[in-house]
Homo-oligomer: A and B are copies of this chain.
Amino acid sequence: MTNPKINFTPGPSQLYFTVADHMRTAFREGIPSLSHRSKQFENIYKDTVDGLRELLGLPDHFHVFFTGSATEIWERTIQNLVLQNSVHLVNGSFSKRFYEVALQLNKKALLLEAPAGSGFEFDVQIPGDTELIALTHNETSTGVALPLNFISAIREQNPSALMVIDAVSSLPHPDFDYADADAVFFSVQKGFGLPAGLGVWLVNDRCIEKAETLLSKGNSIGSYHNIPSLLQHERKFQTPETPNVLAIYLLSKVVADMIRRGIGKIRKETEYKAAILYQALEKHAAIGPFVSDAPWRSQTVIVADTGNLTGTITETLLRHGMQPGDGYGGHKKTQLRFANFPTHAKEHFELLVDLLDKL
């Protein structure tokens, strides 16, 4: 089995560099068989919540719930927050799957789609009876990200709808104004650099009210992972089911590490690494960035149009211990994707850029 030193696949991604140490400590301290009804677990849950509030600037009226995956959160979002009408801004394969989940749950879902590799450069018209607007901040498939002022504008024009932001492959980088969102979610195997198997759902009181209203009118909003059940348990820092205790523990530790490092520093380094890679792609004769319009370019998943050099570049990088991510879906043979997460060092990006320059 190969295990390259630097893994640029956008998820599951390279582990955050402290994870192996935390896993050893976890085993020493009995975390893998810790009861989720113990005081010690409640402390771990609380540490994670406190840490996320500090790291992300998350306001107190947001609750922190755990699920099995971000994919589960797509389903729980529709199930708990939509009686009939949702609107989905689709800019790639993952935002499209969020839309399809709404159809599978028999909702009237409206699709507003941007061309592949582009932002929403048109007048986004959202019907007045929309209950929920689903945005994907960072499309892992295409490397298109929504500018924060675009999100604010959508919010301002549609104050009554719930705004839900999929930030699976961007957090902890974006400095969201949480007044623009009612729910935000991510999974831990991307920017947080943890083993997969945990989704994190940040939910405000408007979402709680909506779920409780749907329930009180006799609609089924699911069982153990409906919002009222998650909330009732979160108040005691517990979970409805036996959760992935180990992943929650590791998340609490990595969040603490990131706080010590400083979120400002992490954001600046992320933007520096993105800038040098986009610059290298732009000035390159044979390859280029897939997203042509700079304001819509992701800082955390950088997609390169590599055409018929894709194989050559991959081989070159692998020889230097670097694993690029394949292009997504139909772009597998003509694009490469580079995750730019907090675990990726500046030096690795400088080496990557050097290698691309020389091609």
Contact between A33 and B13, CB atoms less than 8 A apart: yes
Q: Which of A192-206 contact B (CB under 8 A)?
A: 194-198
Contact between A35 and B23, CB atoms less than 8 A apart: no
Question: Chain B residues with Cβ under 8 A from A223's Cβ?
Answer: 74-75, 100-101, 104-105
Contact between B68 and A244, CB atoms less than 8 A apart: yes
Give the Cβ gap from A254 to chain B, nearest Cβ, in Å: 12
Partner of A197, one of B30, B33, B34, B247: B247
Contact between A27 and B23, CB atoms less than 8 A apart: yes
Contact between A68 and B75, CB atoms less than 8 A apart: no
Work out how many copies of this chain go into the complex. Answer: 2
The CA of A246 and the CA of B71, in the complex, are separated in Å by: 18
Partner of A33, one of B15, B218, B247: B15
Contact between A71 and B196, CB atoms less than 8 A apart: no
The answer to whether residues A72 and B241 also contact, given A105-B220, A223-B101, A247-B197 and a CB cut-off of 8 A, is yes
| Prevailing SS type, chain A contact patch | loop
The answer to whether residues A246 and B68 also contact, given A20-B27, A189-B33, A223-B104 and a CB cut-off of 8 A, is no
Measured CB to CB, the residues of A under 8 A from B are 1-3, 7, 9, 11-15, 19-20, 23, 27-30, 32-36, 40, 67-72, 74-75, 100-101, 104-106, 187, 189, 194-198, 218, 220, 222-226, 240-247
Contact between B246 and A197, CB atoms less than 8 A apart: yes
Taking CB as reference atom, which chain B residue is nearest A41? Answer: B12
The CA of A343 and the CA of B33, in the complex, are separated in Å by: 13
Contact between A36 and B196, CB atoms less than 8 A apart: yes
Query: Other CB < 8 Å A-B pairs besides A68-B241, A71-B242, 20 of them?
Result: A1-B29, A2-B30, A3-B29, A9-B35, A13-B33, A20-B27, A23-B23, A68-B197, A68-B244, A75-B222, A101-B223, A104-B226, A105-B223, A189-B242, A196-B242, A196-B244, A197-B198, A197-B247, A244-B244, A244-B247
The CA of A198 and the CA of B220, in the complex, are separated in Å by: 25
Give 30 pairs: A residue, B residue, CB < 8 Å, sorted on A. Answer: A3-B29, A9-B35, A12-B35, A12-B36, A12-B242, A15-B32, A19-B32, A20-B27, A32-B194, A33-B195, A68-B69, A68-B72, A68-B241, A71-B240, A71-B241, A72-B225, A75-B223, A75-B224, A75-B225, A101-B223, A105-B220, A187-B242, A189-B242, A195-B246, A196-B243, A196-B245, A197-B242, A197-B245, A197-B246, A197-B247
The CA of A198 and the CA of B106, in the complex, are separated in Å by: 28
The CA of A20 and the CA of B33, in the complex, are separated in Å by: 12
The CA of A225 and the CA of B75, in the complex, are separated in Å by: 10
Give the Cβ gap from A48 to chain B, nearest Cβ, in Å: 15
